[in-house]
Each structure stands twice: as C-alpha cells, then as structure tokens.
Amino acid sequence: MRTKLLVAALVLASAAVGRADDGLTKGTPDVKSVTALAFGPKGLLFVGDSAGATLFAIDTGDAKPAGDKPLNIEKLDSKIAAALGVTDKDVKINDVRVNPASGNVYVGVSRGTGAGTPALVKVARDGTVTAFAFKDVSFSKVAIPNPATGGAKGAPEVITQMAFVDGKLVVAGMSSEQFASTLRVIPFPFKEADKGSSIEIYHGAHGAVETRSPIRTFVAYKVGKEDHIMAAYTCTPLVKIPVADLKAGAKVKGTTIAELGNGNKPLDMIVYTKDGKDYLLMANSKHGILKIPTGEFATTTPITAKTGVAGVKAETVKELADVVQLDKLNDTHAILLNKNGDLKTVPLP
C-alpha cells in the first residue's frame, strides 16, 4: 500500500483543535523577528521568532477560499518594499508559506539594516500585496526555555523550520544544550514548551557523528505506519527521525538514508503525490531542485560510514532553477520564490 502523506493528518487535526482562536487572546504580540512560518487549521498562523526565542499563534482571519488563480509576481521584494514603505534593499524575505484555508500566501520579512524590524506580508491570489499588522489580533505565545545564544553575526538559529502536525507544532532549531540540534513537539493550544529532544545524526560526507548541526528544513511524513520527520542538513544528509521518540530531554538518533552532495545548503522541502506515488521536493543552494521518490524510505540501508553521494536516489529538476523558497499551493501545483525575487506558480514535477 502506498505510503500515506502525514500532511493528511492536518485535516483531521482541525477537528481536534476546534476553533482557530482556541487559547488566543486579543492584543498586540511582541514579535521581535519573523524567522519561520507554519499554518495550522482555519487560517491559524504560527510565527517562529528566533530573536525573541518565542513561538506565536496568530488568527489571521483568512479562512475563506480565495480562488485558484495562479500567483505569478515579478520582483515580489519590490512590491513588499512598497507595502512596507521601505526601499528594495531594506527587504529580506525569511519564509514563504501558503495558507491552506484560503490559498493566499504569507511572507515573513525583516525590514531595514542589521537584524531589521519584523514584518508579515499577505500576498492575495489576485496579486495584491499588503502588510499584516501585529496589532489587535487574536494570538497566544510560548517561550522557548533553552534557546541557543550567539551564532553567526549574532543571530542564533533558535528556529530553522516549523510544521503543524496532528495538533502539535514541530519546531527545529538550536538549543543551549550540549547536543545543540533540537526538535521540539509543542501541543496547541499552547501551555508551555519543554527543552525538546537533542538530535544526533551520522553525516556520511563528513564521516562523523554530529549533534551541533541544525536541521535546515524538514517535512512530516508517514513511513510505513510510523510518523517521521524527514530532515535535511547542510552538505546534504537526508535523515528520518521517528516522531514517537521526540520526548522532553531525550537524545534521539536519526537514520541517514541519503547523502545528496556536499558544499550545499538545503533551503526548503515539500512532499506531494503524483500518479499514485509520493515524492519529496527539495530546494538547494547548489544542487537546484531535487525530486526524491519516497518508496525506499523504509528499506534503504542506513548510511553509517564515510561516503560521497549515496542512499536514496534523487533526480535534478533542471527546469526549476535558482529556487530559494518553496511551498505546496494545491495538489497539482507549487509556489516558488527564485533568487531574482520572482514568485511563480509551477506544476508539481
């Protein structure tokens, strides 16, 4: 039987979570950065704030389907700059996510120089670009108890990626623990966040066990009957991590099932079904877009020794180049942001 997408659990989770405003109160969230985004049910948006070491849940009020018109916008960064009242060079796009309830797209932004000021922008299906005001919204928040400090240019990678799965927010990033690479599983409505699980992997390209390399991007996926996090790291191991093992304070060893080539940073991933088969689609800094069949995820021999490219095979999608952000728009199309700042709708390959 074909491996089922864990993404389907999100639909079921909406019934369990109930209304989108569960646990939310009206006010102005003190967001210090918009590092990563993830959507829950009914327009509920999770905002990962690395600078503030905090996770926010915000009711966008955007739950009505906005149609199926493709989104194709040249120089999105310029349009965002105009909406925010800044120059193009003052806009840094951190994350791009599709709201599955409406089909509209949300963009996490830093504006200005240095760490910048956080901003959230909505891109409607008709191409309209507007700023989302962090004022008088229904929201809740939870602090991360053991965030990493320092980091490159003073910006610790407390949060690198998030996904809402089966009523819980899964958060990848770095902690202050000795084994710094961390996955947290935080139930919603928020109460508190625990210290998370420390993640250990074997990196075949480096020929070493690693505990301080952060997960760059991940998707939730069901391998056989078990829920897993499929995680990608710099240089570029692909690792499967059982969700059931992710408990507070646990040290979890992931299974490396592919080495996709070093000198590379994975940027974004989605998972989808086409012609009855499941695929993982990964955007990368060096290797372009890689299309990876999931059929061998359960049976591939784990990588436990130094190696070059090995494990599960990947195919380069040559017609999709220079992609820096990627998300699933619907069952047949994806949206992507390229290095030129263009937002495009493309068929799933």
Q: Is the pLDDT of residue 7 over 70?
A: no
- pTM, to two decimals: 0.92
Provide the pLDDT confidence category of residue 112 given band limits of 50, 70 and 90.
confident
- Determine the pLDDT at residue 114: 63
Average pLDDT of the residues of the chain: 92
Percent of residues, the chain, with pLDDT higher than 70: 92
Q: Is the pLDDT of residue 107 over 50?
A: yes
Q: Is the pLDDT of residue 6 over 50?
A: no
Give the pairing type, strands 315-316 and 333-338. unpaired
Provide the pLDDT confidence category of residue 1 given band limits of 50, 70 and 90.
very low
pLDDT in tens, 27-45: 999 999 999 999 999 999 9
Report whether 98 contacts 176 (CB < 8 A). no
pLDDT in tens, 259-282: 999 999 999 999 999 999 999 999
pLDDT in tens, 179-203: 999 999 999 999 999 999 999 999 9
Radius of gyration of the chain (CA): 19
- Determine the pLDDT at residue 115: 63
- Determine the pLDDT at residue 3: 43
Q: Is the pLDDT of residue 225 over 70?
A: yes
Provide the pLDDT confidence category of residue 110 given band limits of 50, 70 and 90.
very high
- Determine the pLDDT at residue 149: 86
- Determine the pLDDT at residue 191: 94
Percent of residues, the chain, with pLDDT higher than 90: 88
- Determine the pLDDT at residue 22: 80
User: What is the phi-psi region of residue 230: left when phi exceeds 0, alpha when psi lies from -120 to 50, beta otherwise?
Assistant: beta
Q: Where are the domains of the chain?
A: 8-347
189 preceded by a cis bond (ω within 30 of 0): yes
- Determine the pLDDT at residue 14: 37
Q: Is the pLDDT of residue 15 over 70?
A: no
Q: Is the pLDDT of residue 250 over 70?
A: yes
pLDDT in tens, 134-144: 999 999 999 99
pLDDT in tens, 114-159: 668 999 999 999 999 999 999 999 999 999 999 998 755 545 799 9
Tell me which of 2.60.40, 2.130.10, 2.40.128, 1.20.120 is the CATH number of domain 8-347.
Answer: 2.130.10
Per-residue HEC secondary structure of the chain comes to CCCCCCCHHHHHHHHHHCCCCCCCEEECCCCCCCCEEEECCCCEEEEEECCCCEEEEEECCCCCCCCCCCCCECCHHHHHHHHHCCCHHHEEEEEEEECCCCCCEEEEEEECCCCCEEEEEEECCCCCEEEECCCCEEEEEEECCCECCCCHHHCCCCCCEEEEECCEEEEEEEECCCCCEEEEEEECCCCCCCCCEEEEEEECCCCEEECCCCCCEEEEEEECCEEEEEEECCCCEEEEEEHHHCCCCCEEECEEEEECCCCCCEEEEEEEEECCEEEEEEEECCCCEEEEECCCCCCCCCCCCCCCCEECCCEECCCCCCEEEEEECCCCEEEEEECCCCEEEEECC
Q: What gap in Å lies between CA 155 and CA 150, rounded to an integer?
A: 6
- Determine the pLDDT at residue 151: 59
